[in-house]
Amino acid sequence: MGGYLKIRGLTSEWPEITTYFDGEIIGPHYKFITNKWNATMEDDLKHWSLFPHFPALHRQLGTFQQPFDSKRFPYIFMRWKERFLVPDHQVSHIDGASFAGFYYICLVIDPKAASETDTYPGTSAPALAEDEINMEQEATINPKKQAHLYGYYFHESSEPFQKLDLYQVPVPVSDTFELH
């Protein structure tokens, strides 16, 4: 999986930055443990634990290496690794911006279902009280309960836990008809 990340207002010299990223979907092929990009298992646990759906899931899995069937949940965990600046892939450094790290990502596909399924299927572990608080905050920010993608940036030399928060913004459209 890959895509483009457009960032506005990060630096005054570069008012808009677009990077290309490769994505890894946590599941049968990619595990929760990163094992690259200078991230330690401690970094992984700190970052994944910031997502309200992760702690209950982690308690059920018991380990970062446990197989995870992502299709059984209303959310998807991913990592996004920025690769280069677009359109000039030869730019390797921008003062005040870093694209040398990667993002820990959670895509909440169905917020209502996600709030009801904070346990691993087939178990009865209770959802965390913190999950309920975060879901209430999300309801205020995202009242229509649309898909929500958010994440945390990691690079060993960057300020920790920089948050990425993306919601769908409906684009108003109108139909045009012409009669002859």
The stretch 82-92 carries a mean pLDDT of 82
pLDDT in tens, 111-156: 766 665 444 444 333 343 344 434 444 444 445 567 889 999 999 8
Q: For residue 154, with 0-12 CB atoms within 10 Å meaning exposed, 13-18 middle and 19 or more buried, which class applies? A: buried
More confident residue, 20 or 124: 20
- Do 21 and 84 contact (CB within 8 A), yes or no? no
Give this prediction's pTM: 0.74
